Amino acid sequence: MVERYSPDDRKILQALRIQLDEDESSHFSGLACLSGQAVRRVQEKLADYRQPFAQDADRILHSRAYARYIDKTQVFSLVDNDHITHRALHVQMVSRVARTVGRFLGLNEDLIEAIALGHDIGHPPFGHEGERILTKLCQQHGLCSFQHNIQSVQFLDRFERDGAGWNLTLQVMDGILCHDGEVHGQHLEPLREKDFAAHDMELAAKMEHPELALVPMTLEGCMVRLADTVAYIGRDIEDAIELGLVHRHDLPKTCTSVLGSSNGTIVYTLTTDLLLNSLHVKDAMKEDTDNDHIGFSREVGAALKELKTFNYQRIYTNPAFKPDFVKIQRCYEQLFDYYLDQLHRAEQGGADRDFLRSMSPVYMAAHNPASMVRDYLAGMTDAFFLRQAAAIGCEVPERTC
C-alpha cells in the first residue's frame, strides 16, 4: 500500500484519536465500555486513528457476509413485495434503536453499532425455518444444532478473509454470540468478567446445549439484545398486515392500550420506556453494581411479553403463513448431499471448483466436510439458494405476490 500521508499527518490523526479516548472517559457513563478497554485475540501492530469498535463496525460492514443480508429472509419468505422487511433493514433498525437509547445513557455507540450490524449475519436462507431445517441436517451428519448466533461468530471469526477472520474485539464477538434469547424479565444485567478463554468456553457450551442462556459482558451488548425485540415486534406485525395475514383489530387490546397499535407507536413507546427506566446508568460510577442493568418498566414489559405471544401464535408458528417449506426442506437436503459429494470428489480432483473457491486451505484444514457444507449453505442468500437448488434438479417453490 502506498503511503500517502506524512509522519506529521499521522501525528495529527493519532492526537485526534487520543482526544476521542479522553472524551469518552469524561462523557461516558462509568458503566460504559470504553474504547480503550477493547481486546483483540491477536494484537494488531498497524496503528489506526479509528477507535477499535469503530474499526469493527467498518470491518463487519465491508464483509462479504454483510453484503448478503440484502436477500435474507427476516420473517416472510418468497413474497414478491418490496416493502416487506429483509434482514439488512432489520439490523439497521436494531442499530438505530440501541444507539438512540445508548446515547442518552452515555454508552459506547461504536460498540453498539458493531454488535447490531453483525448480530444476525449467521442466519441461513429462509430465516428461522431455514435454521430449523439446517439443524436437522447438521444433527444427521454428526454436527451440533445449527444456531445463527454461533454461525455469526463462525463467519466473522473463522470464514471471512480466506479463513483468517476479521480479528474482531472480544466485546463485539461476545455481544453477537449473546444477543440471542428472549428476555421477559424487567431488566438485563451484564456478566462482565470475561476474556477470550471464557468466550470460547461459552461458545462450546452453547453448541452442546442450545437452551443455555448466555448474557452479554457489556451494557452495550445488553442494549442490542433488548433493541432486537423493539425493532422486530411491531415491524413484523406491519408486514403481516401488509400481506393480509392479520388485521390491526386482531391485536390484543391489553397490548395496544399500553404500546399502541402501529409499528411507529410501538417502537417509540418501547424505546422511551427503555430509556426512562435505564437512566440510572447515565451517572453511575464504574463500580456501581446496583445500577449495572437496563430494562423496561413492569407495565410495558408485561405488555411486550403478551405481544410476543401474539406474534408467535398468529405469525411465526402459524402454518397458514408458511410458504412451501416442504420443497425448501427437500432443496436443503439435496444441496447438503450434493456439496458433501463435491467435497469427497475433491480428494480425487474431480470437484466443482466454483464451490471450493470460497474456501481457503487454512479454513479447509480446520473444518470437516459436513461443517464446510453447513457454512456454505448458511451463507447463501435466498435467491442464490434457489438458483443452486434448481441447477441440481430440485423442484423449487415460486415467489408469490
Segment 182-190 mean pLDDT: 72
Q: Which pLDDT value is given to residue 134?
A: 96
Is the pLDDT assigned to residue 2 strictly greater than 80? no
> Chain-centre distance of CA 267, in angstroms?
19
Q: What is the pLDDT of residue 398?
A: 81
Long-range Cβ contacts of 202-207 (<8 Å, 24+ apart): 202/177, 202/178, 203/150, 203/153, 203/177, 206/147, 206/149, 206/150, 206/177, 207/144, 207/145, 207/147, 207/150
CATH of 10-321, one of 1.10.3210.10, 3.10.180.10, 3.40.50.1000, 3.40.50.300: 1.10.3210.10
Buried-state track 142-172, b at ≥16 Cβ within 10 A, e below 16: ebbbbbbbbbbbbbbbbbbbebebbbbbbbb
**Contact partners, residue 327, CB within 8 Å, separation at least 6:** 394, 395, 396, 397
- The ranges assigned to domains in the chain are 10-321, 325-391
DSSP state of 42: S
Q: Note the pTM of the prediction, 2 decimals.
A: 0.94
Mean pLDDT confidence for 189-200:
96
Among 83-87, 134-138, 206-210, 303-307, the least confident range: 83-87
**Rounded average pLDDT over 281-292:** 92
Instruction: Name the more confident of 187 and 273.
Output: 273
Rounded average pLDDT over 103-107 = 98
Percentage of the chain beyond pLDDT 90 is: 68
Compute CA distances 96 → 24, 99, 113, whole Å: 20, 5, 8
What count of other Cβ atoms lies within 10 Å of the Cβ of residue 256? 17
The DSSP secondary structure of 236-305, one letter per residue, reads HHHHHHHTTSS-GGGS-HHHHHHH-SSHHHHHHHHHHHHHHTTGGGTT--TT-GGG--B---HHHHHHHH
Q: Which residues pair with 166 in a beta bridge?
A: none
Non-local CB neighbours of 122 within 8 Å, separated by 6+ positions: 147, 148, 149, 150, 151, 152, 153, 154, 155, 378
Q: Which residue has the cell 442499530?
A: 95
pLDDT, tens only, 162-181:
778 999 999 999 999 999 86
Alpha carbon distances (Å) from 283 to 178, 187, 279, 286, 293? 26, 18, 8, 10, 13
DSSP string, 77-134: -SB--TTS-BHHHHHHHHHHHHHHHHHHHT--HHHHHHHHHHTTTT--TTHHHHHHHH
- pLDDT number for residue 48: 82
Answer yes or no: is pLDDT of 9 > 90: no
- Average pLDDT of the chain is 90
Calpha distance 154→206 (Å, rounded): 13
- Which phi and psi angles does 119 have, rounded to 5°? -65, -25
Q: How confident is the model at residue 1 (pLDDT cuts 50, 70, 90)?
A: very low
| Phi, psi dihedral angles at 283 (to 5 degrees) | -105, 15
CA distance 287 to 290: 9
Looking at residue 186, its pLDDT comes to: 66
> Quick one: average pLDDT of 258-272?
97
pLDDT at 320 over 80: no
Residue with the three cell numbers 423449487: 396
Cα–Cα dist 66/379, whole Å: 10
CB atoms near residue 311 (< 10 Å): 21
What tens digit of pLDDT does each residue of 33-73 get? 999 999 999 998 767 889 999 999 999 999 999 999 888 88
Q: Are 134 and 377 in contact (CB under 8 A)?
A: yes
Between residues 366 and 226, the one the model is more confident about: 226
CA distance 151 to 373: 13
